[in-house]
Protein backbone atom coordinates (compact mmCIF):
# COMPACT_ATOMS: atom_id res chain seq x y z
CA UNK A 1 0.00 0.00 0.00
CA UNK A 2 2.66 2.54 1.02
CA UNK A 3 4.85 1.79 -1.96
CA UNK A 4 1.92 1.87 -4.35
CA UNK A 5 0.53 5.23 -3.26
CA UNK A 6 3.28 7.48 -4.69
CA UNK A 7 3.15 5.59 -7.98
CA UNK A 8 -0.64 6.00 -8.22
CA UNK A 9 -0.40 9.74 -7.48
CA UNK A 10 2.19 10.15 -10.24
CA UNK A 11 -0.16 8.37 -12.65
CA UNK A 12 -3.12 10.60 -11.72
CA UNK A 13 -0.91 13.65 -11.96
CA UNK A 14 0.37 13.09 -15.50
CA UNK A 15 -3.08 12.04 -16.75
CA UNK A 16 -4.56 15.18 -15.18
CA UNK A 17 -1.82 17.35 -16.73
CA UNK A 18 -2.60 16.01 -20.20
CA UNK A 19 -6.35 16.48 -19.81
CA UNK A 20 -5.81 19.96 -18.40
CA UNK A 21 -3.92 20.98 -21.57
CA UNK A 22 -7.39 21.80 -22.84
CA UNK A 23 -7.29 24.63 -20.30
CA UNK A 24 -3.97 25.81 -21.79
CA UNK A 25 -5.58 26.05 -25.21
CA UNK A 26 -8.59 27.81 -23.77
CA UNK A 27 -6.36 30.38 -22.05
CA UNK A 28 -4.23 30.86 -25.17
CA UNK A 29 -7.21 31.08 -27.51
CA UNK A 30 -9.01 33.56 -25.32
CA UNK A 31 -6.01 35.75 -24.44
CA UNK A 32 -4.15 35.92 -27.76
CA UNK A 33 -6.86 38.27 -29.00
CA UNK A 34 -5.56 40.88 -26.52
CA UNK A 35 -2.66 41.54 -28.87
CA UNK A 36 -4.77 41.34 -31.97
CA UNK A 37 -7.43 43.97 -31.25
CA UNK A 38 -5.07 46.91 -31.79
CA UNK A 39 -4.37 45.75 -35.35
CA UNK A 40 -7.71 44.43 -36.55
CA UNK A 41 -9.60 47.55 -35.45
CA UNK A 42 -8.04 49.78 -38.14
CA UNK A 43 -7.50 46.94 -40.66
CA UNK A 44 -11.20 46.03 -40.78
CA UNK A 45 -12.41 49.53 -39.78
CA UNK A 46 -14.33 48.20 -36.76
CA UNK A 47 -16.70 49.98 -34.44
CA UNK A 48 -16.30 49.44 -30.68
CA UNK A 49 -19.14 46.93 -30.67
CA UNK A 50 -17.62 45.07 -33.64
CA UNK A 51 -14.31 45.02 -31.78
CA UNK A 52 -16.15 43.55 -28.83
CA UNK A 53 -17.63 40.91 -31.13
CA UNK A 54 -14.16 39.96 -32.38
CA UNK A 55 -13.19 39.19 -28.80
CA UNK A 56 -16.47 37.87 -27.42
CA UNK A 57 -17.51 35.67 -30.37
CA UNK A 58 -15.45 32.85 -28.92
CA UNK A 59 -17.38 33.00 -25.65
CA UNK A 60 -20.71 33.00 -27.46
CA UNK A 61 -20.19 29.56 -28.98
CA UNK A 62 -18.41 28.42 -25.82
CA UNK A 63 -21.73 29.05 -24.12
CA UNK A 64 -23.48 26.70 -26.56
CA UNK A 65 -20.75 24.08 -26.16
CA UNK A 66 -21.02 24.20 -22.39
CA UNK A 67 -24.72 23.41 -22.41
CA UNK A 68 -24.20 20.46 -24.73
CA UNK A 69 -20.75 19.11 -23.79
CA UNK A 70 -21.86 17.64 -20.45
CA UNK A 71 -24.78 15.59 -21.83
CA UNK A 72 -22.70 14.54 -24.85
CA UNK A 73 -19.90 13.37 -22.56
CA UNK A 74 -22.44 11.37 -20.55
CA UNK A 75 -23.41 9.62 -23.78
CA UNK A 76 -20.10 9.25 -25.66
CA UNK A 77 -17.49 9.57 -22.93
CA UNK A 78 -15.28 12.37 -21.56
CA UNK A 79 -12.27 11.44 -23.70
CA UNK A 80 -14.12 11.54 -27.03
CA UNK A 81 -15.42 15.06 -26.38
CA UNK A 82 -11.94 16.27 -25.37
CA UNK A 83 -10.46 14.94 -28.63
CA UNK A 84 -13.14 16.76 -30.62
CA UNK A 85 -12.31 19.94 -28.68
CA UNK A 86 -8.62 19.58 -29.57
CA UNK A 87 -9.48 19.25 -33.26
CA UNK A 88 -11.68 22.35 -33.10
CA UNK A 89 -8.85 24.35 -31.51
CA UNK A 90 -6.54 23.36 -34.39
CA UNK A 91 -8.97 24.23 -37.17
CA UNK A 92 -9.92 27.51 -35.50
CA UNK A 93 -6.29 28.62 -35.19
CA UNK A 94 -5.58 28.02 -38.89
CA UNK A 95 -8.85 29.62 -40.03
CA UNK A 96 -8.30 32.69 -37.82
CA UNK A 97 -4.79 33.21 -39.16
CA UNK A 98 -5.98 33.20 -42.78
CA UNK A 99 -9.26 35.10 -42.22
CA UNK A 100 -9.73 37.51 -45.17
CA UNK A 101 -12.45 39.57 -43.47
CA UNK A 102 -13.92 40.51 -40.12
CA UNK A 103 -16.82 38.08 -40.64
CA UNK A 104 -14.51 35.14 -41.35
CA UNK A 105 -12.39 36.00 -38.32
CA UNK A 106 -15.48 35.99 -36.10
CA UNK A 107 -16.67 32.66 -37.56
CA UNK A 108 -13.23 31.10 -37.05
CA UNK A 109 -13.15 32.24 -33.42
CA UNK A 110 -16.67 30.94 -32.91
CA UNK A 111 -15.43 27.54 -34.06
CA UNK A 112 -12.67 27.74 -31.45
CA UNK A 113 -15.29 28.70 -28.88
CA UNK A 114 -16.88 25.28 -29.29
CA UNK A 115 -13.57 23.74 -28.25
CA UNK A 116 -13.21 26.20 -25.35
CA UNK A 117 -16.65 25.38 -23.96
CA UNK A 118 -16.16 21.64 -24.22
CA UNK A 119 -12.68 21.70 -22.65
CA UNK A 120 -13.76 23.97 -19.79
CA UNK A 121 -16.61 21.66 -18.83
CA UNK A 122 -15.13 18.23 -19.40
CA UNK A 123 -11.54 18.61 -18.20
CA UNK A 124 -12.32 19.42 -14.52
CA UNK A 125 -15.12 16.84 -14.51
CA UNK A 126 -12.74 14.15 -15.76
CA UNK A 127 -9.99 15.05 -13.27
CA UNK A 128 -12.44 15.02 -10.35
CA UNK A 129 -13.69 11.60 -11.41
CA UNK A 130 -10.26 9.98 -11.54
CA UNK A 131 -8.42 11.73 -8.68
CA UNK A 132 -8.46 10.84 -4.94
CA UNK A 133 -10.52 13.10 -2.63
CA UNK A 134 -7.41 14.09 -0.65
CA UNK A 135 -5.80 15.67 -3.71
CA UNK A 136 -8.89 16.53 -5.76
CA UNK A 137 -8.67 20.28 -5.20
CA UNK A 138 -5.09 20.42 -6.41
CA UNK A 139 -5.70 18.10 -9.34
CA UNK A 140 -8.75 19.98 -10.60
CA UNK A 141 -6.85 23.25 -10.10
CA UNK A 142 -4.35 22.00 -12.69
CA UNK A 143 -7.00 22.95 -15.24
CA UNK A 144 -6.92 26.56 -14.02
CA UNK A 145 -3.12 26.47 -13.91
CA UNK A 146 -3.07 25.49 -17.55
CA UNK A 147 -5.56 28.23 -18.38
CA UNK A 148 -3.31 30.88 -16.85
CA UNK A 149 -0.24 29.34 -18.48
CA UNK A 150 -2.02 29.61 -21.81
CA UNK A 151 -2.87 33.24 -21.08
CA UNK A 152 0.75 33.99 -20.13
CA UNK A 153 2.21 32.23 -23.16
CA UNK A 154 -0.19 34.14 -25.43
CA UNK A 155 0.94 37.47 -23.94
CA UNK A 156 4.57 36.39 -24.40
CA UNK A 157 4.23 35.14 -27.97
CA UNK A 158 2.35 38.31 -28.90
CA UNK A 159 5.22 40.37 -27.52
CA UNK A 160 7.88 38.28 -29.30
CA UNK A 161 6.04 38.60 -32.61
CA UNK A 162 5.89 42.39 -32.18
CA UNK A 163 9.60 42.48 -31.42
CA UNK A 164 10.40 40.24 -34.39
CA UNK A 165 8.41 42.55 -36.65
CA UNK A 166 11.02 45.27 -36.05
CA UNK A 167 13.94 42.98 -36.94
CA UNK A 168 15.83 43.23 -40.24
CA UNK A 169 16.77 39.54 -40.16
CA UNK A 170 16.09 37.85 -43.48
CA UNK A 171 14.15 34.86 -42.13
CA UNK A 172 11.96 37.15 -40.04
CA UNK A 173 11.19 39.29 -43.04
CA UNK A 174 10.41 36.25 -45.18
CA UNK A 175 7.87 35.03 -42.60
CA UNK A 176 6.08 38.36 -42.74
CA UNK A 177 5.98 39.12 -39.00
CA UNK A 178 5.68 42.85 -39.72
CA UNK A 179 2.97 42.56 -42.35
CA UNK A 180 1.01 39.69 -40.80
CA UNK A 181 1.77 40.13 -37.08
CA UNK A 182 -1.76 39.55 -35.82
CA UNK A 183 -2.20 36.53 -38.11
CA UNK A 184 0.88 34.90 -36.62
CA UNK A 185 -0.45 35.65 -33.14
CA UNK A 186 -3.62 33.70 -33.88
CA UNK A 187 -2.15 30.93 -36.01
CA UNK A 188 0.58 29.77 -33.65
CA UNK A 189 -2.06 28.09 -31.45
CA UNK A 190 -2.25 25.28 -34.00
CA UNK A 191 0.97 23.81 -32.56
CA UNK A 192 -0.23 23.17 -28.96
CA UNK A 193 -3.64 22.09 -30.31
CA UNK A 194 -1.99 19.33 -32.35
CA UNK A 195 0.12 18.26 -29.35
CA UNK A 196 -3.03 18.05 -27.19
CA UNK A 197 -4.85 15.87 -29.72
CA UNK A 198 -1.94 13.44 -29.94
CA UNK A 199 -1.38 13.24 -26.16
CA UNK A 200 -5.05 12.43 -25.49
CA UNK A 201 -4.45 9.04 -27.13
CA UNK A 202 -2.69 7.78 -23.95
CA UNK A 203 -5.38 9.07 -21.58
CA UNK A 204 -7.89 6.46 -20.29
CA UNK A 205 -11.62 7.04 -20.17
CA UNK A 206 -13.18 8.31 -16.92
CA UNK A 207 -13.65 5.31 -14.57
CA UNK A 208 -16.92 6.68 -13.22
CA UNK A 209 -18.29 7.03 -16.74
CA UNK A 210 -17.18 3.48 -17.56
CA UNK A 211 -19.00 2.14 -14.50
CA UNK A 212 -22.14 4.07 -15.42
CA UNK A 213 -21.97 2.24 -18.76
CA UNK A 214 -21.49 -1.15 -17.07
CA UNK A 215 -17.83 -1.46 -18.07
CA UNK A 216 -16.73 -2.25 -14.53
CA UNK A 217 -13.63 -4.27 -15.42
CA UNK A 218 -12.12 -1.42 -17.43
CA UNK A 219 -12.94 1.02 -14.65
CA UNK A 220 -11.36 -1.24 -12.03
CA UNK A 221 -8.05 -1.36 -13.89
CA UNK A 222 -7.91 2.44 -14.15
CA UNK A 223 -8.91 3.07 -10.52
CA UNK A 224 -6.32 0.60 -9.22
CA UNK A 225 -3.64 2.51 -11.14
CA UNK A 226 -4.99 5.84 -9.96
CA UNK A 227 -5.75 5.10 -6.31
CA UNK A 228 -3.86 1.94 -5.39
CA UNK A 229 -5.36 -1.52 -4.82
CA UNK A 230 -7.05 -0.96 -1.47
CA UNK A 231 -8.38 2.54 -2.10
CA UNK A 232 -9.63 1.46 -5.51
CA UNK A 233 -11.77 -1.30 -4.01
CA UNK A 234 -13.37 1.17 -1.61
CA UNK A 235 -13.96 3.68 -4.39
CA UNK A 236 -15.47 1.03 -6.68
CA UNK A 237 -17.87 0.01 -3.93
CA UNK A 238 -18.92 3.61 -3.30
CA UNK A 239 -19.50 4.27 -7.00
CA UNK A 240 -21.40 0.98 -7.42
CA UNK A 241 -23.67 1.81 -4.48
CA UNK A 242 -24.31 5.27 -5.88
CA UNK A 243 -25.10 3.91 -9.34
CA UNK A 244 -27.50 1.35 -7.82
CA UNK A 245 -29.33 4.12 -6.01
CA UNK A 246 -29.47 6.25 -9.13
CA UNK A 247 -30.89 3.39 -11.19
CA UNK A 248 -34.01 3.53 -9.07
CA UNK A 249 -34.47 7.16 -10.07
CA UNK A 250 -35.50 8.63 -13.39
CA UNK A 251 -32.76 9.68 -15.77
CA UNK A 252 -31.25 13.05 -14.92
CA UNK A 253 -32.65 16.09 -16.73
CA UNK A 254 -32.48 19.87 -16.54
CA UNK A 255 -35.73 19.84 -14.54
CA UNK A 256 -33.85 18.10 -11.71
CA UNK A 257 -31.92 21.33 -11.19
CA UNK A 258 -35.16 23.03 -10.10
CA UNK A 259 -35.96 20.55 -7.33
CA UNK A 260 -35.97 21.87 -3.73
CA UNK A 261 -33.21 19.38 -2.85
CA UNK A 262 -30.92 21.16 -5.32
CA UNK A 263 -31.59 24.69 -4.03
CA UNK A 264 -28.37 25.11 -2.03
CA UNK A 265 -25.99 23.74 -4.67
CA UNK A 266 -27.67 25.74 -7.44
CA UNK A 267 -27.52 29.00 -5.46
CA UNK A 268 -23.82 28.42 -4.85
CA UNK A 269 -23.06 27.17 -8.37
CA UNK A 270 -24.88 29.98 -10.20
CA UNK A 271 -23.51 32.70 -7.89
CA UNK A 272 -19.91 31.57 -8.30
CA UNK A 273 -20.38 31.18 -12.08
CA UNK A 274 -21.59 34.78 -12.37
CA UNK A 275 -19.11 36.23 -9.89
CA UNK A 276 -16.06 34.78 -11.66
CA UNK A 277 -16.82 36.82 -14.76
CA UNK A 278 -18.74 39.86 -13.52
CA UNK A 279 -15.73 41.16 -11.58
CA UNK A 280 -14.02 41.86 -14.91
CA UNK A 281 -11.28 39.24 -15.12
CA UNK A 282 -11.70 38.58 -18.83
CA UNK A 283 -11.81 42.30 -19.54
CA UNK A 284 -8.38 42.52 -17.89
CA UNK A 285 -6.97 39.43 -19.64
CA UNK A 286 -8.40 40.04 -23.09
CA UNK A 287 -7.85 43.78 -23.19
CA UNK A 288 -4.71 44.09 -21.03
CA UNK A 289 -2.66 46.08 -23.56
CA UNK A 290 -5.63 48.38 -24.16
CA UNK A 291 -6.00 49.00 -20.41
CA UNK A 292 -2.32 49.77 -19.97
CA UNK A 293 -2.41 52.11 -22.94
CA UNK A 294 -5.10 54.03 -21.05
CA UNK A 295 -2.33 54.79 -18.53
CA UNK A 296 -0.16 56.42 -21.18
CA UNK A 297 2.19 53.55 -21.95
CA UNK A 298 3.30 52.87 -25.49
CA UNK A 299 2.48 49.66 -27.32
CA UNK A 300 5.68 47.81 -26.40
CA UNK A 301 5.43 48.88 -22.77
CA UNK A 302 1.80 47.83 -22.56
CA UNK A 303 2.64 44.40 -23.91
CA UNK A 304 5.42 44.04 -21.36
CA UNK A 305 3.02 44.98 -18.58
CA UNK A 306 0.54 42.45 -19.96
CA UNK A 307 3.24 39.79 -19.63
CA UNK A 308 3.57 40.78 -15.95
CA UNK A 309 -0.17 40.10 -15.65
CA UNK A 310 0.38 36.61 -17.03
CA UNK A 311 3.32 35.87 -14.72
CA UNK A 312 1.37 37.08 -11.67
CA UNK A 313 -1.53 34.87 -12.69
CA UNK A 314 0.67 31.78 -12.90
CA UNK A 315 2.49 32.39 -9.61
CA UNK A 316 -0.67 32.93 -7.56
CA UNK A 317 -2.46 30.03 -9.22
CA UNK A 318 0.39 27.82 -8.01
CA UNK A 319 -0.11 29.26 -4.52
CA UNK A 320 -3.82 28.41 -4.77
CA UNK A 321 -3.01 24.83 -5.76
CA UNK A 322 -0.76 24.52 -2.70
CA UNK A 323 -3.43 25.91 -0.34
CA UNK A 324 -6.80 24.73 -1.68
CA UNK A 325 -6.80 21.31 0.03
CA UNK A 326 -5.28 22.76 3.23
CA UNK A 327 -7.27 25.86 4.13
CA UNK A 328 -10.34 25.05 2.05
CA UNK A 329 -12.35 26.52 -0.82
CA UNK A 330 -14.42 29.01 1.19
CA UNK A 331 -11.45 30.64 2.95
CA UNK A 332 -9.67 31.19 -0.37
CA UNK A 333 -12.78 32.74 -1.87
CA UNK A 334 -13.39 35.11 1.04
CA UNK A 335 -9.78 36.35 1.02
CA UNK A 336 -9.52 36.57 -2.76
CA UNK A 337 -12.85 38.31 -3.43
CA UNK A 338 -12.14 40.83 -0.65
CA UNK A 339 -8.87 41.69 -2.40
CA UNK A 340 -10.64 41.96 -5.77
CA UNK A 341 -13.06 44.54 -4.35
CA UNK A 342 -10.21 46.67 -2.97
CA UNK A 343 -8.22 46.54 -6.23
CA UNK A 344 -11.16 47.41 -8.48
CA UNK A 345 -12.13 50.43 -6.40
CA UNK A 346 -8.45 51.43 -6.37
CA UNK A 347 -8.41 51.35 -10.19
CA UNK A 348 -11.57 53.44 -10.29
CA UNK A 349 -10.01 56.01 -7.96
CA UNK A 350 -6.74 56.22 -9.92
CA UNK A 351 -8.45 56.71 -13.29
CA UNK A 352 -10.77 59.30 -11.72
CA UNK A 353 -7.74 61.27 -10.50
CA UNK A 354 -6.06 61.28 -13.94
CA UNK A 355 -5.85 64.39 -16.13
CA UNK A 356 -5.09 64.81 -19.83
CA UNK A 357 -3.08 67.75 -21.24
CA UNK A 358 -1.46 67.94 -24.67
CA UNK A 359 1.60 70.19 -24.71
CA UNK A 360 3.46 71.60 -27.69
CA UNK A 361 6.55 69.68 -26.59
CA UNK A 362 4.65 66.39 -26.45
CA UNK A 363 3.12 66.99 -29.89
CA UNK A 364 6.54 67.67 -31.41
CA UNK A 365 7.60 64.08 -30.70
CA UNK A 366 4.57 62.49 -32.33
CA UNK A 367 4.31 60.86 -35.74
CA UNK A 368 4.05 63.17 -38.72
CA UNK A 369 1.02 61.15 -39.80
CA UNK A 370 -0.99 62.90 -37.10
CA UNK A 371 -2.54 66.21 -38.13
CA UNK A 372 -0.74 68.18 -35.40
CA UNK A 373 -1.88 71.52 -36.81
CA UNK A 374 -5.51 70.50 -36.33
CA UNK A 375 -4.82 69.76 -32.64
CA UNK A 376 -3.66 73.32 -31.90
CA UNK A 377 -7.02 74.39 -30.33
CA UNK A 378 -6.61 71.92 -27.44
CA UNK A 379 -2.89 72.45 -26.75
CA UNK A 380 -2.51 73.31 -23.09
CA UNK A 381 -6.14 72.49 -22.28
CA UNK A 382 -6.60 70.13 -19.32
CA UNK A 383 -9.27 67.43 -19.45
CA UNK A 384 -10.36 65.73 -16.23
CA UNK A 385 -11.64 62.51 -17.81
CA UNK A 386 -10.64 60.14 -20.57
CA UNK A 387 -14.10 60.53 -22.09
CA UNK A 388 -13.76 64.28 -22.50
CA UNK A 389 -10.27 64.01 -23.97
CA UNK A 390 -11.20 61.31 -26.47
CA UNK A 391 -14.32 63.23 -27.47
CA UNK A 392 -12.24 66.32 -28.20
CA UNK A 393 -9.82 64.29 -30.33
CA UNK A 394 -12.67 62.75 -32.31
CA UNK A 395 -14.26 66.14 -32.93
CA UNK A 396 -10.98 67.51 -34.29
CA UNK A 397 -9.52 64.56 -36.21
CA UNK A 398 -12.62 62.60 -37.14
CA UNK A 399 -13.49 59.07 -36.09
CA UNK A 400 -11.04 57.19 -38.34
CA UNK A 401 -7.92 59.12 -37.29
CA UNK A 402 -9.05 59.27 -33.66
CA UNK A 403 -9.24 55.47 -33.54
CA UNK A 404 -5.89 55.10 -35.29
CA UNK A 405 -3.96 57.51 -33.04
CA UNK A 406 -5.96 57.33 -29.81
CA UNK A 407 -3.37 55.35 -27.84
CA UNK A 408 -0.52 57.62 -29.02
CA UNK A 409 -2.37 60.80 -28.05
CA UNK A 410 -3.52 59.40 -24.70
CA UNK A 411 0.09 58.43 -23.92
CA UNK A 412 1.26 61.94 -24.77
CA UNK A 413 -1.42 63.69 -22.70
CA UNK A 414 -2.13 61.58 -19.63
CA UNK A 415 -0.95 62.43 -16.15
CA UNK A 416 -1.62 59.70 -13.61
CA UNK A 417 -0.01 57.35 -11.14
CA UNK A 418 0.95 54.52 -13.50
CA UNK A 419 2.63 52.56 -10.70
CA UNK A 420 -0.57 52.51 -8.65
CA UNK A 421 -2.52 51.32 -11.71
CA UNK A 422 -0.05 48.51 -12.32
CA UNK A 423 -0.08 47.44 -8.65
CA UNK A 424 -3.90 47.46 -8.59
CA UNK A 425 -4.20 45.37 -11.75
CA UNK A 426 -1.56 42.89 -10.61
CA UNK A 427 -3.22 42.76 -7.18
CA UNK A 428 -6.58 42.06 -8.80
CA UNK A 429 -5.08 39.27 -10.91
CA UNK A 430 -3.32 37.78 -7.87
CA UNK A 431 -6.52 37.78 -5.80
CA UNK A 432 -8.48 36.23 -8.65
CA UNK A 433 -5.83 33.57 -9.21
CA UNK A 434 -5.95 32.34 -5.59
CA UNK A 435 -9.74 32.33 -5.42
CA UNK A 436 -12.33 32.57 -8.17
CA UNK A 437 -10.02 31.22 -10.89
CA UNK A 438 -9.29 27.71 -9.60
CA UNK A 439 -11.92 27.40 -6.86
CA UNK A 440 -14.89 27.75 -9.21
CA UNK A 441 -13.87 24.70 -11.24
CA UNK A 442 -13.17 22.68 -8.10
CA UNK A 443 -16.60 23.54 -6.70
CA UNK A 444 -18.29 22.71 -10.01
CA UNK A 445 -16.69 19.27 -9.94
CA UNK A 446 -17.80 18.69 -6.31
CA UNK A 447 -21.23 20.22 -5.79
CA UNK A 448 -23.47 18.24 -8.10
CA UNK A 449 -24.77 14.65 -7.82
CA UNK A 450 -23.20 12.01 -10.07
CA UNK A 451 -26.49 11.36 -11.88
CA UNK A 452 -26.82 14.94 -13.17
CA UNK A 453 -23.23 16.17 -12.87
CA UNK A 454 -22.79 16.59 -16.61
CA UNK A 455 -26.08 18.45 -16.99
CA UNK A 456 -25.53 20.64 -13.91
CA UNK A 457 -21.97 21.62 -14.83
CA UNK A 458 -23.12 22.40 -18.36
CA UNK A 459 -25.86 24.65 -16.98
CA UNK A 460 -23.65 26.68 -14.61
CA UNK A 461 -20.92 26.69 -17.27
CA UNK A 462 -23.47 28.14 -19.69
CA UNK A 463 -24.16 30.97 -17.24
CA UNK A 464 -20.44 31.54 -16.68
CA UNK A 465 -19.71 31.68 -20.40
CA UNK A 466 -22.74 33.88 -21.10
CA UNK A 467 -21.58 36.47 -18.56
CA UNK A 468 -18.06 36.23 -19.98
CA UNK A 469 -19.44 36.95 -23.44
CA UNK A 470 -21.33 40.02 -22.24
CA UNK A 471 -18.34 41.41 -20.31
CA UNK A 472 -16.02 41.00 -23.29
CA UNK A 473 -18.58 42.38 -25.74
CA UNK A 474 -19.33 45.60 -23.90
CA UNK A 475 -15.92 46.37 -22.38
CA UNK A 476 -14.59 48.46 -25.33
CA UNK A 477 -17.95 50.25 -25.44
CA UNK A 478 -17.80 50.84 -21.65
CA UNK A 479 -14.34 52.39 -21.87
CA UNK A 480 -15.43 54.57 -24.78
CA UNK A 481 -18.79 55.67 -23.31
CA UNK A 482 -18.69 55.24 -19.53
CA UNK A 483 -14.98 55.77 -18.95
CA UNK A 484 -12.47 53.68 -17.04
CA UNK A 485 -13.51 55.06 -13.62
CA UNK A 486 -17.14 53.99 -13.78
CA UNK A 487 -16.31 50.68 -15.50
CA UNK A 488 -13.97 49.49 -12.75
CA UNK A 489 -16.28 50.79 -10.00
CA UNK A 490 -19.07 48.59 -11.43
CA UNK A 491 -16.82 45.53 -11.21
CA UNK A 492 -15.95 46.34 -7.60
CA UNK A 493 -19.63 46.66 -6.71
CA UNK A 494 -20.44 43.27 -8.17
CA UNK A 495 -17.54 41.80 -6.19
CA UNK A 496 -19.03 43.11 -2.93
CA UNK A 497 -22.41 41.51 -3.68
CA UNK A 498 -20.68 38.21 -4.46
CA UNK A 499 -18.73 38.29 -1.20
CA UNK A 500 -21.98 38.57 0.78
CA UNK A 501 -23.41 35.53 -1.03
CA UNK A 502 -20.26 33.48 -0.36
CA UNK A 503 -20.35 34.29 3.35
CA UNK A 504 -24.00 33.33 3.66
CA UNK A 505 -24.42 30.25 1.46
CA UNK A 506 -21.13 28.54 0.59
CA UNK A 507 -20.34 25.32 2.51
CA UNK A 508 -16.83 23.85 2.81
CA UNK A 509 -16.20 20.82 0.56
CA UNK A 510 -12.54 19.94 1.06
CA UNK A 511 -11.46 16.39 1.91
CA UNK A 512 -14.76 14.65 1.13
CA UNK A 513 -15.52 12.11 -1.59
CA UNK A 514 -17.99 13.02 -4.31
CA UNK A 515 -20.45 10.51 -2.86
CA UNK A 516 -20.09 11.99 0.65
CA UNK A 517 -20.69 15.49 -0.67
CA UNK A 518 -23.84 14.38 -2.44
CA UNK A 519 -25.21 13.05 0.83
CA UNK A 520 -24.41 16.33 2.62
CA UNK A 521 -25.46 18.88 0.00
CA UNK A 522 -28.44 17.25 -1.70
CA UNK A 523 -31.38 16.55 0.61
CA UNK A 524 -34.20 14.60 -0.99
User: Mind listing the pLDDT tens digit of every residue in the chain (524 residues)?
Assistant: 444 555 667 888 888 888 888 889 888 877 788 778 878 888 888 887 888 888 888 878 887 887 788 788 888 889 999 999 999 999 999 999 999 999 999 999 999 989 988 888 888 888 878 877 677 777 777 877 888 888 888 878 888 888 887 777 777 777 777 788 889 999 999 999 999 999 999 899 988 888 888 888 888 888 888 777 777 777 788 778 777 766 655 556 677 788 888 888 888 889 999 999 899 887 777 666 666 766 655 556 656 666 788 789 889 988 988 888 888 889 999 999 999 999 999 999 988 888 888 888 877 777 667 877 888 888 889 998 888 888 898 888 888 788 777 777 877 888 888 788 888 989 999 999 999 988 887 888 788 877 777 778 778 877 887 888 888 778 878 877 888 889 899 999 999 999 999 998 887 777 666 667 766 667 65
Residues 110/98, Cβ–Cβ less than 8 Å: no
Residues 56/473, Cβ–Cβ less than 8 Å: yes
Distances (CA, A) of 446 to 245, 326, 449: 19, 16, 8
Sheet arrangement for strand 414-415: 382-383, 355-357, 414-415
DSSP 32: T
Q: Given this model, what pLDDT does residue 167 score?
A: 74
Which are the contacts of 103, defined by CB distance < 8 A and separation ≥ 6? Answer: none
d(CA 62, CA 30): 11
d(CA 235, CA 228): 10
Domains annotated on the chain, with CATH: 4-203+249-352+419-521 (1.20.1250.20), 355-415 (no CATH)
Beta bridge partners of 382: 357
504 CB burial (10 A radius; 0-12, 13-18, 19+): exposed
Residues 231/6, Cβ–Cβ less than 8 Å: no
How many residues are given for the chain? Answer: 524
Residues 186/157, Cβ–Cβ less than 8 Å: no
Amino acid sequence: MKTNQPQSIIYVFYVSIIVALGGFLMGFDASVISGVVKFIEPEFNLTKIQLGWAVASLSLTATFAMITAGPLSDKFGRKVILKIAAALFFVSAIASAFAPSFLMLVLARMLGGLGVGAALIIAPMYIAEIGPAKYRGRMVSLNQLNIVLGISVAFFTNYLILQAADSDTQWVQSLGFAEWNWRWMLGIEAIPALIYFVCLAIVPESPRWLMMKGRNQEASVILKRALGEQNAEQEIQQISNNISLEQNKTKGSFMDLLKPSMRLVMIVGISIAILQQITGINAVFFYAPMIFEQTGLGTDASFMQAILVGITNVVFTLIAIALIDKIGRKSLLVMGVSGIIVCMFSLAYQFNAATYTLTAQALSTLSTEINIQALQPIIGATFTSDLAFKSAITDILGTAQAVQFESTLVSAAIQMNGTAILVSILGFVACFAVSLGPVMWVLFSELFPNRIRGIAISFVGLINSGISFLVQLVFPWELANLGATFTFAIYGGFGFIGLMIILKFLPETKGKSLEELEGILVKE
